[in-house]
Amino acid sequence: MSKDYLAEYDAAAEGDKYPLVQNWMKTEPLPFFKQLREQRSVLVTPECTLLALFVDIRDALQMPKIFTVDLYKPKMGVTDTSPGYLMAHDDDPLHYREKSIMQGMLNRDDIPRVRKIIKDAAQEILGKADGDIEIVNNYCRMVPAIMVQEYFGLDGINRKNLIRWSFWNQYNTFHNQPFNLNSKEKYDEIINEHAKASKELVDYIAVLMVRKLLTVKIKDRLFAMARKVINLVRIIFKKKPIEFKDDIVKRMLRSTFAEQVDFSLARIGTNAGGLLIGSVEPTSTAVAQVIQFFLERPELLAEAKAASAQEDTDKIDAMVWEALRYVPISPYMFRQLSQDYTIAKGTDRETTIPAGTNVLTLTQSAMFDPYCYQDPDEFKTDRNWYHNFNYGFASHDCLGKYVGMAMIPEMVRQVLLRTDIHATSAMDYKDGPFPGEYQLAWK
Interaction site with ligand HEM (CB under 6 A): 69, 87, 99, 274-275, 278-279, 282-283, 286, 329, 333, 390-392, 396, 398-400, 403-404, 408
Q: Closer to ligand HEM at the Cβ: 117 or 295?
A: 117
DSSP for 202-214 reads HHHHHHHHHHHHH
Helices (H), 110-219: 111-129, 135, 142-147, 159-175, 184-214
State whether residue 375 is helix, strand or coil.
coil
CA dist 267 and 93 (Å) reads 14
Identity of the residue, 32 or 391, whose beta carbon is nearer to ligand HEM in the bound complex: 391
For the bound state, the minimum distance from the C-beta of residue 256 to ligand HEM, rounded and expressed in Å, comes to: 23
For residues 36 and 360, which CB has a smaller minimum distance to ligand HEM in the complex? 360
Angle at 233 between CA 229 and CA 237, to 5 degrees: 165
Minimum separation from the CB atom of position 222 to ligand HEM (A): 32
Nearer to ligand HEM, 396 or 418 (CB): 396
Of the pair 278, 376, the CB lying nearest ligand HEM is at 278
**Alpha helices in 341-394, H assignment, sequence order:** 363-366
Of 17 and 329, CB closest to ligand HEM: 329
* CA distance linking residue 154 with residue 217, whole number of Å: 18
Q: How far is the CB of 84 from ligand HEM (least distance, A)?
A: 12
Kindly report the number of other CB atoms within 10 A of residue 363's CB atom: 23
* 3-class DSSP state of 107: coil
Answer yes or no: are the C-beta atoms of 257 and 300 closer than 8 Å: no
Q: Give the Cβ contact number of residue 69 at 10 Å.
A: 21
For ligand HEM, which residue has the nearest CB? 400
Q: Is 305 in a helix, a strand, or coil?
A: helix
Residues 400, 281: Cα–Cα separation, whole Å: 13
Question: Is residue 175 packed enough to be buried (19+ CB in 10 Å), middle (13-18) or exposed (0-12)?
Answer: middle
Q: Which is nearer to ligand HEM, 49 or 279 (CB)?
A: 279
Residue whose CB is less far from ligand HEM, 341 or 389: 389
Among the listed residues 9, 11, 14, 28, the one whose alpha carbon sits nearest the alpha carbon of residue 365: 28
Kindly list the distances between the CA atom of residue 135 and the CA atoms of 84, 171, 205, 407, in Å, as whole numbers in the listed order.
33, 20, 28, 16
Residue among 48 and 408 whose Cβ is closer to ligand HEM: 408
